[in-house]
Amino acid sequence: MSVTLKVYLERFDLAKVFRISRGAKTSAQVVTLVLCDGEHAGWGEAVPYGRYGETLDSVSESLWELQGQISSMASVHQLLAKLPAGSARNALDCALWDLQAKQQQTSVADMLALPQAKSVITAQTLSIDTPQNMAAAATELTTAPLIKIKLDAELIVERIAAVHEVCPHSQFIVDANEAWNFRLLESVTESLAGMNVVLIEQPLPAGEDDGLIDIVSAVPLCADESCHTSDNLEWLAERYQAVNIKLDKTGGLSEAVALANKAKSLNLQIMLGCMVGSSLAMAPSYLLGHMADYVDLDGPLLVAQDREQGFKFDNGTMLSHPSLLWGLPQPANALARYR
C-alpha cells in the first residue's frame, strides 16, 4: 500500500495577546502533516518551539525531506524511529496513528487500549500582566475549577493574590517558565500554598534544577522544560513531584504513553500540557486524560478561530466533539481540503 506525505504551514491568530516570561505572541504558527494511502488520510499538528531550537522552517524542512523517502507504511515507521523527539516527530507520529485508525476502522483509543474520554477538566490560562489587569481578566473565570497563571520573577505573590481574590474557590497552577531562582522559589511557596496554588511548573531553568533534590516545597513542583521523554525520569523523580507531558516535546503520542506509564510507576503526578495550537494538536493528548492529575489543553480557547469538529469548552470542562477531527474511524470533513 503506497503512502504519500504532505506538509502545510498554517497560522492561527490568537483571540488576545499571549504573554509568558519569555515574551508575547499574537498568533500560533503550526506545521500540519497529512499522510494519505489513496483512500484514507490521517493528520497531525505540531507547534515548533524556539526554546528547543526549533523554527517553523526547520521543522517543515525536516518533514519535507521525508517526502521522497516515504512510499509505504513500513517506510513511515522506519523514518519515524530515526527522528529525534520534538515537534517534527510529533506531527508524523500523530498523523500515522490517525491514518491507521481510518485504515482499520477503529479508534486510536481502542488501538492503545485507552478509554475514550468524553470530557476532562482543563486549566484555563491567564497571561502575565499587572496584578490589576490579571484580576480584571480573571473576572471571566470566577467559577473556573482550575486556572493556570503565567508568571515571571516579579510581583509573584501580588499577582496570585489579585487573582485569588477574584477566584477564591479556584485552584491555581503557577507557570514560571524557568524564570525563578532557588532563593525566590523558597521565599514564595508558603504564601502560594495558602492561596490555592496546587502546582508550580518549572520554576528554575532546565539544567539548573539539580539542587531541587534538597528542597522541600510547600507546593508540588512540576518539570516541564526539564522533561521531554522517559529517558531521565528517575533523575527527575528525585527533584520533582510531577511532570508535564507535551507531545511536541515527547515526539508524539507513542512516547507520551510510555512517559505517562513510567511516571505512574515512579509515583509522579502527571500534567498534560500543550503549546498554543488548535484542537488537532490537543486531540492525541486528550486520550491520556484518565491518567492525568492536571490537564492543561486550553490551546483552542486561545485561538480566535479553531478548526471544525474541535473541542468545546464549558467553564473549564473540555468536551469532545462526537465526530472529533482526529483519532476516530470516520474521516473528518475538515481534512478533505488537504487530500
One-letter amino acid at 71 equals S
Q: How many domains does the chain have?
A: 2
For residue 10, tell me if it sits in a domain: yes
CATH number, domain of 185, equals 3.20.20.120
Residue 284 and residue 157 in one domain: yes
Report the alpha-carbon angle 284-288-291, nearest 5.
170
Q: What pLDDT does 282 receive?
A: 97
For residue 26, what pLDDT is reported?
83
Q: Within a domain: residue 334? A: no
pLDDT of the residue at 74: 87
Residue 69 resides in a domain: yes
Q: Alpha-carbon distance 248 to 231, whole Å?
A: 16
166 with 311, same domain: the answer is yes
Alpha carbon dihedral 223, 285, 320, 123, in 10-degree steps, equals 10
Task: Please check whether residues 44 and 83 belong to one and the same domain.
Answer: yes
Do 131 and 64 fall within a single domain?
no
On whether both 179 and 85 belong to a single domain, the answer is: no
Residue 337 lies in a domain: no
* Whether residue 159 sits in one domain with residue 288: yes
**Strand ranges, E, within 142-285:** 146-150, 171-175, 197-201, 221-223, 242-245, 269-272
| Last-in-domain residue among 78, 93, 112 | 112
Count how many Cα atoms sit within 13 Å of the Cα of residue 33 in the half-sphere of its side chain: 35
> Whole domain around residue 59: which residue ranges?
4-112
pLDDT tens for the chain, 339 residues long, are: 789 999 999 999 998 877 776 677 788 899 999 999 989 999 999 999 888 999 999 999 999 988 888 878 888 889 888 999 999 999 999 999 999 999 999 999 999 999 988 899 999 999 999 999 999 999 999 999 999 999 999 999 999 999 999 999 999 999 999 999 999 999 999 999 999 999 999 999 999 999 999 899 999 999 999 999 999 999 999 999 999 999 999 999 999 999 999 999 999 999 999 999 999 999 999 999 999 999 999 999 999 999 999 999 999 999 998 899 999 998 666 676 665
Shared domain check, 150 and 247: yes
Q: How many CA atoms lie within 13 A of 239 on its CB side?
A: 22
Give whole-number Cα distances, 104 to 77, 138, 139, 189, 204, in Å.
17, 45, 47, 50, 45
Any domain includes 336: no
In a domain, 125, yes or no: yes
Q: What is the CATH number of the domain that holds 19?
A: 3.30.390.10
Give the containing element (helix H, strand E) for 284: helix 279-286
| Measured distance CA(296)–CA(151) in Å, rounded | 16
113 Cα distance to chain centroid: 21
pLDDT of residue 117: 82
125 and 94 in a single domain? The answer is no
pTM of the entire predicted model:
0.94
Q: Do 87 and 129 lie in a common domain?
A: no
192 & 306 share domain: yes
Ramachandran assignment for 86, one of left (phi > 0), alpha (psi -120 to 50 degrees), beta (any other)? left
Residue 232 lies in a domain: yes
d(CA 267, CA 116): 24
- Domain identity same for 22 and 159: no
Report the length, in residues, of the chain: 339
The H or E element spanning position 110 is helix 108-111
Query: Measured at the alpha carbon of residue 30, what is the angle toward residues 27 and 31, in degrees to the nearest 5?
Result: 160
Question: Pairing relation of β-strands 4-20 and 23-36?
Answer: antiparallel
